[in-house]
Amino acid sequence: MNIYQDIILDHYHHPHNQGRLDISGKSVQVSNPLCGDKIEMTIVFEKNKVKEVKFQGEGCVISTASASMLTDYAKNKSKQELKKLDSKFIIKMLGIDLGMTRIKCALLPLEALHKLL
């Protein structure tokens, strides 16, 4: 197993920022009907930067790891910085080759984040 696969499995088994923010913030739900993944993301901004972000839902290894890693990255970033993120960023962040069906799983958290912006 390579280092990237280990990191992905670690984020799947021990996801960072999992849960829902109880304080008033923006929230969105997205789903991938092809595989059944569902993610709800909640975010709080302070002075145009992400103060806190959490996610919850049901998803495969790739979508859960992607959500965990993306929410880690998003903290303290500005809306402008986050709007620039694209599929290339997610693929590089995950560090593995993904087929067409798996790329949709990996991009689901990014879709949620962009909707919150």
CATH code assigned at 109: 3.90.1010.10
C-beta separation of 109 from 63 below 8 A: yes
Helix and strand totals (H; E) in the chain: 5, 3
Residue 81: CA count within 13 A, CB half-sphere: 10
DSSP 24: S
**Total domains in the fold of the chain:** 1
Q: What is the domain extent for residue 88?
A: 3-116
Q: Report, as an integer, the average pLDDT of 100-114.
A: 93
Q: Which of 31, 98, 41 is nearest to 74 (CA)?
A: 41
Classified as helix, coil or strand, 17 is coil
**Digit-coded pLDDT (tens) for 17-38:** 999 997 777 899 999 988 899 9
Predicted TM-score (pTM) of the model is 0.92
Contact 40/57 with Cβ under 8 angstroms? Answer: yes
User: Could you read off the pLDDT of 66-104 as tens digits, one per residue?
Assistant: 999 999 999 999 999 999 999 999 999 999 888 887 899
